Amino acid sequence: MADETLYYEDFEEGRAFESAERTVSAEEIIAFAAEFDPQPMHLDEAAGKASILGGLSGSGWHMSSIAMRLFYDSVVSRTAGEGGPGIDVMEWRRPLIAGDTVRLTIRVKTRRPLASRPGIGLVTMEHTMMNQKGERIMRMEAPVLIRMRNQHSAEADQ
Amino acid sequence: MADETLYYEDFEEGRAFESAERTVSAEEIIAFAAEFDPQPMHLDEAAGKASILGGLSGSGWHMSSIAMRLFYDSVVSRTAGEGGPGIDVMEWRRPLIAGDTVRLTIRVKTRRPLASRPGIGLVTMEHTMMNQKGERIMRMEAPVLIRMRNQHSAEADQ
């Protein structure tokens, strides 16, 4: 089953996927921040501790990019996907602190066939990132385009 | 003026900031994708050309992270900011193709003082990324927390 490609039909509303865990190092946090978001709390331990974040903490964009990778490894890599047009909402709720181990739960929120592109549907998923303490540190809702397994019957259903 | 720190009071609704330009190389696109979003159209020229994106194209998360860096260099680096809680909306409208030169326009959309944190306001900005053809490739709305220059008078105003 794990080797089978997932199509639109497989993303029933409410279906959930769990990612693997990933531990995020200080070195990764600093490297990402140096390139994309060089604010002091993302670059320096002392500056992070002095901030409201309480420690060397990853950029929100780093957290989001790590979520993308966890989503890729657990779902996208085995899905007949056609990319995503954007993000409906992203909440960075708590800091990602160096050394944290995170994992992602992906849940199908809604789905609908695309009238403009027969054979393709839009599946909106909710992504929740938890740390090793069980705290929800990130929540996102984002749509993805996914091909249908059986394009003709799906069109006929509309 | 460019050396002065920007505070909440400086972010009048409608005020706009322009970033510098940045050319994005194939090497950067591939390096980001290999780490965070290893879909074929982000890793390989031929796969990109065969996809609806029409060329080796950056991950949406890469585009967003580049926007963060352009925002940092033009605004955040000289602002009394306290970070951002998330993203209200993100639209990846057109692909970021290897070799494209992009720039960001940041416009203040709304702002309000935070009742829960006197002396700090929430400023929501609209970010628009354009490529060298003048095409709008990304649009985002996101709030940022910014300290007030004069906390006491601002509190008295509430």
Q: Where are the domains of chain A?
A: 8-157
Residue of B nearest to A60 (CA): B86
Q: Do the Cβ atoms of A60 and B89 come within 8 Å?
A: no
ipTM over 0.95: no
Per-residue confidence in pLDDT tens, chain B, 158 aa:
456 899 999 999 999 999 999 999 999 999 999 999 999 999 999 998 888 788 999 999 999 999 999 999 999 999 999 889 999 999 999 999 999 999 999 999 999 999 999 999 999 999 999 999 999 999 999 999 999 998 754 444 44
pTM to 2 decimal places: 0.92
Residue of B nearest to A85 (CA): B92
- Per-residue pLDDT tens digits for A96-144: 999 999 999 999 999 999 999 999 999 999 999 999 999 999 999 999 9
Nearest to B90 among A36, A39, A86 (CB): A86
Q: What pLDDT score does A96 carry?
A: 96
Q: Do the Cβ atoms of A61 and B59 come within 8 Å?
A: no
- Per-residue pLDDT tens digits for A53-99: 889 999 999 999 999 999 999 999 999 998 899 999 999 999 999 99
Q: What is the 3-state secondary structure (H, E, C) of B61-107?
A: HHHHHHHHHHHHHHCHHHECECCCCEECEEEECCCCECCCEEEEEEE
CA A88 to chain B, closest CA, distance in angstroms equals 5
CATH superfamily of the domain spanning A8-157: Hotdog Thioesterase (3.10.129.10)
3-class DSSP state of A3: coil
CA B139 to chain A, closest CA, distance in angstroms equals 9
Chain B interface mutation, best of A65, A77, A78, A136, highest count of B Cβ atoms under 10 Å: A65
* A127 CB-near residues (< 8 Å, 6+ apart): A67, A71, A104, A105, A106, A138, A139, A140, A141, A142
